[in-house]
Structure 1
Amino acid sequence: MMKRKSFREAECPVARSLDAIGDWWSLLIIRDAFDGITRFTAFQQNLGIAKGMLATRLRDLVEAGVLDLVPASDGSAYQEYVLSAAGRDLFHVIVALRQWGEAHRYRPQERRSVLVDTESGAPVARLELRAADGRRIAWPDTQVIAPS
């Protein structure tokens, strides 16, 4: 089997991010954590992932600082996986993937879940990238400057 290349020390922030969260199981685990799942068994049942694969992905997400392993909130002997501050910072990433999928992976009238604002019940607006002065910007308005 080919060994996966590590991007942990890459210059590119995208590569470093993908090193920590870049496989689909990890992103689906993070999505489920945002949906309130905290227990190993619940992740396994919801995702249909093999237990060994799930154990590996959860361990890697804890090591990457995306999830924290904490005592169970109900006082039982179990442990739970909760989003760390770094994990909670992935919310925009998950929403961006969701919105991309809604725009490009569904037929026009196909049913799907909807992300809503809990205060108003209205669907969440599309994410936008803004310049420091508040202007809305897109890909052609940006460039990457490599470190010198």
Structure 2
Amino acid sequence: MLRLVVELPPSWVDLSSENADGPSTFIKEDPESTGALQISIQAEYHGGTIPNPIPEQLVSYAEGIVNKNAHVQIRGRSTGKCKMGTYGTVLASLLRHSWCQIWVLSNGNDFVLASHTSVDEPSEAEVNEASWVVKNISLQAIPVGL
């Protein structure tokens, strides 16, 4: 079993306890911010064929999530290295969110999903900090029986 390890910049707050049945949720403490960063483990490897996705597959997974929404306008796609391994990301505008960035991260075995959504266009600082948080996510094994 795995748990997320998330590092936050000083101006970010963990609201996960207010969303106990949902993903880990974080916001930037700024009256101008209308965004939320949510992170969850999507799949843990327990055996069988090792997924080992290529970066383009991670982008495709992220795009599939974004495309489930109505009135999607894709604004960009990219891949890169992160603390966990590799990520694929898609940036889009949706009907009720001018900003929606989805990341799918993988270490070759396990998958993490992160989303940064905002009603309004977030500040450059918020975007950079959210990206930094996502790129620094790691997974930690929880010993069996705890």
Q: Which has the higher strand share?
A: 2
Larger radius of gyration: 1
- TM-score tier, shorter chain, comes to under 0.3
Determine which structure has greater relative contact order: mean sequence separation of CA pairs < 8 Å that are 6+ residues apart, divided by chain length. 2
Q: Which has the higher helix share?
A: 1
TM-score by length of 1: 0.23
